[in-house]
Amino acid sequence: MATSILLSSSFSPTPRIPGCPNFIFSTPKLNRIVTPMNSYSTRSFLKTTQLLPSNCLMKSRRVFVLGESDTSVSKDVLVGEDSADFDLAKQKITSWIYFTGVLGVVLFILDIAWLDNSTGFGKVFIDSLSAVSDSPEIVMFLLTLIFAIVHSGLASLRDPGEKLIGERAFRVLFAGTSLPLAVSTIVYFINHRYDGVQLWQLQSVPWLHHLLWVTNFISFFFLYPSTFNLLEVAAVDKPKMHLWESGIMRITRHPQLAGQVMWCLAHTVWIGNSVAVAASVGLIGHHLFGAWNGDRRLKIRYGEAFDIVKSRTSIIPFAAILDGRQKLPKDYYKEFIRLPYLAITGLTLGAYFAHPLMQAASYRLHW
């Protein structure tokens, strides 16, 4: 028998709140109160029901479950979650104070245990890889490869890891292992980005800098929506594996991959040497594997609900929209007029103007 699919229907003439999409997904914290079904529902298909999140639907909404006799789901009904949703009124000051404290402690430990050349292991790690080869291209590729193995490997072990030590402890392990490796990769790229063989020189081409700057800027809007859940990232809130569907997910099911490709192309075209190519090959290869691995893990976690999301989204940006599998709402732009994207705009502009500071900090590490 096919896995049950949740469908929502209204049993009240009260209209739905305008601008709020329909959502259908199963999470442990949904209200599990069972309500009477519509008189026209086929009772042979009904199973245990759940109320949908109150932030997007009227409280009078209810859900019923269809079995294999009816597997169609309306395209205007979301099976996944609303990405980049941030309700300021629901935020707790204590949680963000705790987050600030956690961030400070993490940065302090990272500096002492990894970044400081006199006490940390970062320089030892880079020196050990540099001993393998004098080629900055090989070292750059090895850095991305090691990060990819650790990052994706731990992600693949998330389900058994969380069952063994808990969600928060596993997130600390995951972040505590991935963060130093990511910093080392970034610092090495900054310090050696103009080493290697110059393959082309296009920096004198008119308007190229502006085109690549816009490409790079847009790439940060393709961050995976879970990145915005800072309280979960820092394990202040219990981390969850989300099935996102709205916002950037309508354009591509793997926005992190699309954004990384855009970032790599922009930097590689501008720098034009073999180190940039090696970094881009490693990063794009990692994200291609991450796309496959992410789909695999979501399929295991969400089953048929993920199949529905997959059927109306695409890996290639805009492909599902162009072939009619994804229908954008008339007010689609509102899914981007949200605080996380405002923050991304500010941080991206800030990072661009802070490039000299980032480069100076990297040079002082002597990696």
* Stronger pLDDT, 77 or 125, i.e. the higher one: 125
Q: How confident is the model at residue 11 (pLDDT cuts 50, 70, 90)?
A: very low
Task: Specify whether the CB–CB gap between 188 and 126 falls below 8 A.
Answer: yes
More confident residue, 364 or 203: 203
Q: Is the distance from CB of 21 to CB of 246 less than 8 angstroms?
A: yes
Band (367; pLDDT cuts 50, 70, 90): confident
Band of residue 288 on the pLDDT scale cut at 50, 70, 90: very high
> Higher model confidence: residue 361 or residue 41?
361
pLDDT at 21 > cutoff 90: no
What is the end-to-end Cα distance of the chain in Å, rounded? 58
Specify the higher pLDDT residue, 23 or 314: 314
pLDDT (average), residues 14-28? 45
Distance CA 361, CA 181 (A): 17
Is pLDDT at 256 greater than 60 in this prediction? yes
**Tens-digit pLDDT profile for residues 318-356:** 999 999 999 999 999 999 999 999 999 999 999 999 999
Q: HEC string of 272-324?
A: CEHHHHHHHHHHHHHHHHHHHHHHHHHHHHHCHHHHHHHHCCCCCCCHHHHCC
Bridge partners, 244 (sequence order): 81
Share of the chain above pLDDT 70, in %: 79
pLDDT averaged over every residue in the chain: 84
Residue 61 β-bridge partners:
10
Counting every residue written for the chain, the total comes to 367
Contact of 184 with 326, CB cutoff 8 Å: no
With bands split at pLDDT 50, 70 and 90, how would you rate the model's confidence at 77? confident
DSSP string, 91-121: --HHHHHHHHHHHHHHHHHHIIIII-TTT-S
pLDDT in tens, 164-180: 999 999 999 999 999 99
Query: Is pLDDT above 60 for 107?
Result: yes
Average pLDDT over residues 10-24: 44
Model confidence at 81: pLDDT above 70: yes
